[in-house]
């Protein structure tokens, strides 16, 4: 038994010590990514591969040396055989407002089987009014690698700042207001348009702290609609079929929205997390909590707390307090 365990251990070490060789065959600037150089995309793609234990890229020196010896007639099979390449990899980057998406295709050189993966990351940083892409670029490519290989533990051995995980894209929807039949008038119901946007922005401020979602901000959401000539959408109405189809076109995976309804002397606040698929919403989780007073600050605090709970965000981050 001990001998079997030793053999399995040595096999595991051997496999880990011999990662599959990957040749990055193509990188490209996709939609909205003109500000990111092809060289930067290549470097980040190479880093995303080399940071794993299971895959390693062909070094630039070997690539250059091989390039001087090949002819136009050299096919992919001979390249793979000469360099010992297990996979060809191509990557592209798309940018839309505050979101960066990485796309990766890996082709098995023996079976010719092709797999596609993608990953998202928000563009959180700016300098002198210009977006900084480096952090989001690497993170999105790491997530694309995990997606294309179906392995969420690819970077579990890395230091915390590089130990990224797969996430789903999330859009913040509207916030509906229903006065009901209550005889008492609350100030937060006076301007539904302004307060609805305030409530949705409050959800966003809490949601962007999640480790499980890449969250589009409200300007990005509205830009999606505008790209299909849909303007001046009321934020205090339920999403239309047209809106959901537009979000589906952008491959949005999750949609969260809320509502507040007057009930006698108090109000009921509801936040709903859904999955968006083929233009239809399926409820994942719902939170309903009483709001006892008409104070904007209490309304804001309640929305943050509910968002933390529904998105399973650690309260220790402080956004829900």
| CATH number for the domain harbouring residue 9 | 3.40.50
112 sits in the region (left: phi over 0; alpha: psi -120 to 50; else beta) called left
Q: Are residues 59 and 128 in the same domain?
A: yes
- Verify that 188 and 249 share a domain, yes or no: yes
- Out of 130, 146, 162, pick the residue that ends a domain: 162
* CATH code for the domain of 303: 3.40.50.10070
Q: Do strands 280-291 and 266-277 pair parallel, antiparallel, or not at all (unpaired)?
A: antiparallel
Number of domains comprising the chain: 2
* 290 lies in the same domain as 235: yes
Answer yes or no: do 182 and 305 share one domain: yes
Claim to verify: residue 206 and residue 297 sit in the same structural domain: yes
Q: What is the pLDDT along the chain (321 residues), one digit of tens a residue?
A: 444 444 334 334 434 568 999 999 999 999 999 999 999 999 999 999 999 999 999 998 888 777 666 656 567 888 888 899 999 999 999 999 999 999 999 999 999 999 999 999 999 998 888 899 999 999 999 999 999 999 999 999 999 999 999 999 999 999 999 987 777 778 898 889 999 999 999 999 999 999 999 999 999 999 999 999 998 788 999 999 999 999 999 999 999 999 999 888 889 999 999 999 999 999 999 999 999 998 999 999 999 999 999 999 986 554 433
Whether residue 221 sits in one domain with residue 139: no
pLDDT value for 16: 54
162, 178, 209 — which closes off a domain? 162
How far apart are alpha carbons 197 and 208 in whole angstroms? 16
- Residues 141 and 60 occupy one common structural domain: yes
Clarify whether residues 154 and 79 are in a common domain: yes
3-state secondary structure of 75: coil
Please check whether residues 143 and 179 belong to one and the same domain: no
Instruction: Provide the pLDDT for residue 79.
Output: 84
The whole-model pTM stands at: 0.86
Closest CA to 237 of 178, 175, 170, 181: 175
Query: Looking at the structure, do residues 31 and 106 belong to the same domain, yes or no?
Result: yes
Q: Do the Cβ atoms of 74 and 81 come closer than 8 Å? A: no
CA torsion sign for 86, 90, 96, 98 is: positive
User: What six digits make up the tokens of 38?
Assistant: 């092809």
Query: What are residue 29's DSSP bridge partners?
Result: 93
For residue 223 the two structure tokens come to 């830009």
Residue 235 CA, distance from chain mean position? 23
Provide the 3-class DSSP secondary structure of residue 120. strand
Q: For position 157, what pLDDT does the model report?
A: 94
- Token output for 21: 């060789």
CA distance 119 to 131: 19
In 131-191, where does DSSP find H-type helix? 134-149
Under a CB-based contact definition with an 8 Å cutoff, are residues 57 and 72 in contact?
no
Q: How many CB atoms lie within 10 A of CB 16?
A: 11
Last residue within a domain, chosen from 108, 143, 162? 162
- Say what the pLDDT of residue 65 is: 77
Q: What is the pLDDT of residue 259?
A: 97
| Pairwise CA distance, residues 121 & 102, whole Å | 9
**Structural contact between residues 257 and 271, judged by C-beta atoms closer than 8 angstroms:** yes
Look up the domain containing 142 and give its range. Answer: 2-162
- Residues in contact with 109: Cβ distance below 8 Å, sequence separation at least 6, in sequence order: 76, 77, 80, 85, 86, 87, 88
Are 234 and 284 in the same domain?
yes
65 and 133 co-located in one domain: yes
Rounded distance between C-alpha atoms, residue 298 and residue 100, angstroms: 34
The Cα–Cα gap between 216 and 235 comes to 16
Tokens of 238: 């339920």
* Strand, coil or helix: 160: helix
């Amino acid at each position: 038994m001990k001998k079997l365990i030793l053999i399995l251990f040595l096999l595991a070490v051997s496999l880990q010590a011999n990662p599959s060789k990957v040749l990055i065959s193509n990188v490209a600037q996709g939609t909205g990514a003109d500000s990111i150089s092809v060289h930067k995309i290549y470097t980040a793609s190479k880093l995303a591969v080399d940071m794993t234990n299971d895959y390693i890229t062909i070094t630039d020196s070997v690539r250059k040396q091989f390039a001087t010896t090949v002819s136009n007639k050299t096919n992919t099979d001979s390249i793979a055989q000469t360099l010992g390449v297990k996979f060809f990899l191509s990557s592209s980057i798309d940018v839309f407002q505050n979101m960066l998406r990485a796309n990766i295709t890996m082709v098995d050189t023996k079976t010719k089987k092709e797999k596609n993966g993608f990953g998202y990351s928000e563009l959180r940083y700016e300098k002198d009014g210009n977006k900084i892409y480096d952090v989001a670029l690497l993170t999105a490519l790491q997530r694309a690698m995990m997606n294309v290989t179906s392995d969420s533990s690819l970077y579990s051995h890395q230091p915390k700042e590089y130990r990224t995980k797969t996430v789903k894209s999330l859009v913040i929807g509207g916030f509906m207001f229903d006065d009901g039949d209550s005889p008492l008038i609350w100030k937060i119901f006076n301007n539904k348009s302004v307060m609805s946007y305030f409530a949705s922005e409050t959800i966003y401020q809490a949601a962007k702290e999640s480790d499980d979602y890449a969250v589009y901000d409200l300007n990005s959401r509205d830009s999606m609609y505008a790209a299909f000539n849909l303007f001046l959408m009321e934020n205090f109405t339920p999403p239309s079929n047209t809106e959901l189809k537009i979000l589906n076109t952008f491959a949005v995976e999750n949609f969260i929205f809320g509502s507040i309804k007057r009930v006698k002397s108090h109000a009921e606040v509801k936040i709903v997390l859904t999955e968006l698929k083929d233009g239809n919403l399926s409820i994942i989780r719902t939170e309903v909590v009483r709001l006892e007073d008409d104070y904007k600050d209490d309304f804001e605090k309640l929305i943050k707390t509910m968002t933390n709970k529904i998105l399973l965000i650690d309260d220790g981050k402080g956004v829900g307090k």
